Amino acid sequence: MGDYESLKPVVVMILLQFSYAAVALSTRAALLEGMSPRVFVVYRQAIATLVITPLAFFTRSKTSKSGLGLRSFSLIFLASLIGVTLNQNVYFEGLYLASSSMASAMSNLLPAVTFVITLIVGLEKIKIRSLRSIAKIVGTVLCVAGAIAMALLKGPKLLNAELLPNKSVLGSAVDNYWLIGCFLLFASSCCWSFWLILQVPVSASYPDHLSLSAWMCFMATLQSAIVALFVERDLETWKMDSYLQLACCFFSGIVGSGISFYAQAWVISKRGPLFSAMFNPLNTVIVTILASIFLHEEIYTGSVIGAVTVILGLYTVLWGKAKDITGMNTEKHQSTQNVDCKIVSVRIDDSVDKTRCKNDLEEPLLLDKATKVDSVDV
């Protein structure tokens, strides 16, 4: 029974990667069939809102003190705009212009891009002589180099060929749609990284996570609808021409934005975010194989080499982050041991009066040191 319980997070993450692959492939198929990427984002967010809102309402604690004040509303609006509206519109446009395998491979850039952004804004620090800092720098370079290789160094074609219908907002006269698609997918990773960083002030201002997700989906629906109405002047683009497009919208909204939310939250609560991130490359492999079989997507030698380089860079960055967590836990443990030793020595020494003992036990400096451990530099 114990082994089965320990394997549950692994099984859930593997199933999640297959579900993410199914979302990517079905979305790609719907876009190739003629569905507008901007309209798809609106439908997906609307369905996700309808799924998450009732759950947030019925599970909301009556004693919850989360209130949607002006600060919370502003932060949620900004997070929805960057992390959902811009991110998904750019992502699905890139997915349409490039390929499903390229989109899944580019998602592995997320840890490296997040590291660079947090380094720029001062949330991360580097110690040149620290092995874990060097690992994160090398991993970031490998990720970026692999992404550039996938975009520029196609090499010999390994499998398949396809012709895109004219449904891109960039028009049909674009010759280098592959390169532009790669750039859009990279921009999507940047938007998602900014969204991750914004989660710190957003969660602090509005700690009810399920209700927060419902508000984000709702605001993203309104924002995406405004973008789609501005870009798509023809109302015929809002019509669904097949059951595939309808099923894709419901599947991506319910599974991609509903069920996966609970599954990811459960896995992270059990094993942590690093464990969850370690399964990202599996999604790349699944999508690449299935896309070449069912969607006849083009696969180039340069894309394969670049994807492998990105995956190596991803694991290098994750190794550095894992060492960060290990170092933080070690320093916390050492700090706790030092506090315990100090308390014992005070109790043993009869010459120390009770007032001095009480001052030592309540000394603010100990709390400050323990707090600083949480912000140990990277």
What mean pLDDT value characterizes the chain? 77
Query: Residue 349: its pLDDT value, please?
Result: 52
Q: With CA atoms as reference, report the closest residue to 98 among 195, 4, 182.
A: 182
Query: Residue 145: its pLDDT value, please?
Result: 86
Residue 359 has pLDDT above 70, yes or no: no
Phi/psi for 299 (5° steps) reads -125, 125
Residue 46 has pLDDT above 80, yes or no: yes
Residue 1 has pLDDT above 60, yes or no: no
Tell me, yes or no, whether 376 lies in a domain.
Answer: no
Tell me, yes or no, whether 16 lies in a domain.
Answer: yes
Tell me, yes or no, whether 104 lies in a domain.
Answer: yes
Average pLDDT rounded to a whole number, residues 31-50: 91
Query: Residue 339: its pLDDT value, please?
Result: 55
pLDDT digit string (tens) for 115-171?
Answer: 888 888 877 777 777 888 888 888 888 888 888 787 777 667 665 555 455 555 544
Contact call for residues 112 and 148 (beta carbons, < 8 A): no
Reported as a pLDDT band with limits 50, 70 and 90, residue 374 is very low
Tell me, yes or no, whether 360 lies in a domain.
Answer: no
What's the number of domains the chain is made of?
Answer: 1
**Residue 158 to residue 279: CA distance in whole angstroms:** 26
The most confident of 181-185, 276-280, 285-289, 356-360, by mean pLDDT: 181-185
pLDDT digit string (tens) for 198-253?
Answer: 887 888 888 887 888 889 889 999 999 999 999 888 888 898 888 999 999 999 88
Domain range for 315 is 8-60+68-158+172-334
Residue 274 has pLDDT above 80, yes or no: no
Residue 24 has pLDDT above 80, yes or no: yes
Reported as a pLDDT band with limits 50, 70 and 90, residue 174 is very low
Tell me, yes or no, whether 167 lies in a domain.
Answer: no
Query: Residue 82: its pLDDT value, please?
Result: 93
Reported as a pLDDT band with limits 50, 70 and 90, residue 340 is low
Tell me, yes or no, whether 367 lies in a domain.
Answer: no
Query: Residue 158: its pLDDT value, please?
Result: 64
Average pLDDT rounded to a whole number, residues 354-362: 42
Average pLDDT rounded to a whole number, residues 172-199: 80
Residue 343 has pLDDT above 60, yes or no: no
Tell me, yes or no, whether 275 lies in a domain.
Answer: yes
Residue 352 has pLDDT above 60, yes or no: no
pTM score, whole prediction:
0.75
**What's the Cα-to-Cα distance from 289 to each of 35, 104, 285, 360, rounded to whole Å?**
24, 12, 6, 63
Query: Residue 331: its pLDDT value, please?
Result: 62
Tell me, yes or no, whether 151 lies in a domain.
Answer: yes
Which tops the pLDDT comparison, 274 or 233? 233
pLDDT digit string (tens) for 95-109?
Answer: 888 888 888 888 888
Residue 65 has pLDDT above 70, yes or no: no
